Amino acid sequence: MLSLKLPQLLRVHQVPRVFWEDGIMSGYRRPTSSALDCVLSSFQMTNETVNIWSHFLPTWYFLWRLLALAEGPGFRAEPYHWPLLVFLLPTCLYPFASCCAHTFSSMSPRARHICYFLDYGALSLYSLGCAFPYAAYSMPASWLHSRLHRLFVPTAALNSLLCTGLSCYSRFPELDSPGFSKFLRTAAFAYPFLFDNLPLFYRLGLCWGHSCGQEALSTNHGYHLLCALLTGFLFTSHLPERLAPGRFDYIGHSHQLFHICAVLGTHFQLEAVLADMGSRRAWLATQEPPLGLEATVATLGLAVAGNLTIIAAFTASLFRAPDLCPLLQDSLPEGGSPAKLQ
């Protein structure tokens, strides 16, 4: 009878510092796991299991939403719907990339960094994807055809490159300057989010205390912004595990909650975009669309190529780095321990 042995789990003092997570004391996988070990580990309780499944399952949910909308009568043939479809592509990609990053990040230190480079790239493309429906359906009336409106998507494409570059670079000072590394990574994702949501912030201001008209916001926009706020808080605070190290190793640590809030936020964002599409359609039909199909494909294609080039450059720098570099160590120094390595 065929039987598979589940990978052995380790405590924090048994893995190199590059694999440590704040406040997580146990449940680590072997830092030289095989690909099969990584896949098997997703079926046992480790400190990554919920991270894996909390993005694997939503990938299928968003894919189902994409296919259901795309199969609607005349949906793909009508240019009005194209920005939504462009938004849904990276919406399906980013949770899948995150799931793969968390699954295979214990194969080696190099594999860990490369996995997260790809994860950051997918998130950057998602930030760009958000700009397409916001430019098409969610712009304030006074911004239509303004310089900001015309440059909104191209600027979001440049922001995605900046986001990928900063977030990938943030892994290099992670051991020597963890605070600086965290600041860079947070800024890399906070800036595109703030830029993408400028139309919503402006419409929210216009709707405060008087009749909103075309500036009315769906309640789902509010839920999305609340989830985004919680996501940022969890990412930066490392709560609750920072308050009780070892108590939330398997269930309830901040990265799991971060994943859940991010997915819920994306769900509410999709519903809000659909609400804007429906409620503003008659009014927007009288306006010229901001981007045609050719410009949309060109912008997205250039952004994908640029992000892949950045990821390739950082990956090449990892392979040029000496094996003795602390970022690439897959074993503890002799007599190593968390206290000594800090």
Position 150 pLDDT exceeds 60? yes
Burial of 255 (0-12, 13-18, 19+ CB in 10 A): buried
In sequence order, the 6+-apart residues with CB closer than 8 A to the CB of 199 are 134, 138, 139, 140, 143
Better-predicted residue by pLDDT, 28 or 8: 28
State which amino acid sits at residue 271: E
- Give the mean model confidence (pLDDT) for residues 145-160: 94
pLDDT, residue 208, reads 64
* 253, two tokens: 């640590």
CATH number of 44-320: 1.20.1070.10
Position 332 pLDDT exceeds 90? no
CA dihedral defined by 102, 106, 109, 115, rounded to 10 degrees? -30
How far apart are the C-alpha atoms of 256 and 118, rounded to whole Å? 19
Q: What residues form DSSP beta bridges with 10? A: 28
Report yes or no: 87 and 273 within 8 Å, Cβ to Cβ. Answer: yes
State which amino acid sits at residue 36: L
How far apart are the C-alpha atoms of 96 and 220, rounded to whole Å? 24
Tens of pLDDT, residue by residue over 56-77, are 999 999 999 999 998 877 777 7
Tens of pLDDT, residue by residue over 100-124, are 999 999 999 999 999 999 999 999 9
* 204, two tokens: 């929210």
Position 234 pLDDT exceeds 50? yes
- Give the mean model confidence (pLDDT) for residues 286-313: 86
Question: Residue 89's closest CA among 68, 62, 121, 55?
Answer: 62
Identify the sign of the CA torsion 333, 101, 110, 18.
negative
Q: What residues form DSSP beta bridges with 29? A: 9
Note if the bond before 140 is cis, omega within 30 degrees.
no
Residue 43: pLDDT band with limits 50, 70, 90? very high
Position 152 pLDDT exceeds 50? yes
Q: What residues form DSSP beta bridges with 28? A: 10
At 9, phi and psi to the nearest 5?
A: -100, 150
How far apart are the C-alpha atoms of 148 and 337, rounded to whole Å? 53
End-to-end CA distance of the chain: 46
- Measure Cα distances from 151 to 156, 196, 208, 291, 328 in Å: 8, 12, 27, 10, 41
Question: How would you classify the pairing of strands 9-10 and 28-29?
Answer: antiparallel
Residue 132's Cα: distance from chain center in Å? 17
Tens of pLDDT, residue by residue over 250-262, are 999 999 999 999 9
- Give the mean model confidence (pLDDT) for residues 209-227: 83
- Measure Cα distances from 234 to 131, 142, 220, 230, 266 in Å: 24, 35, 21, 6, 16
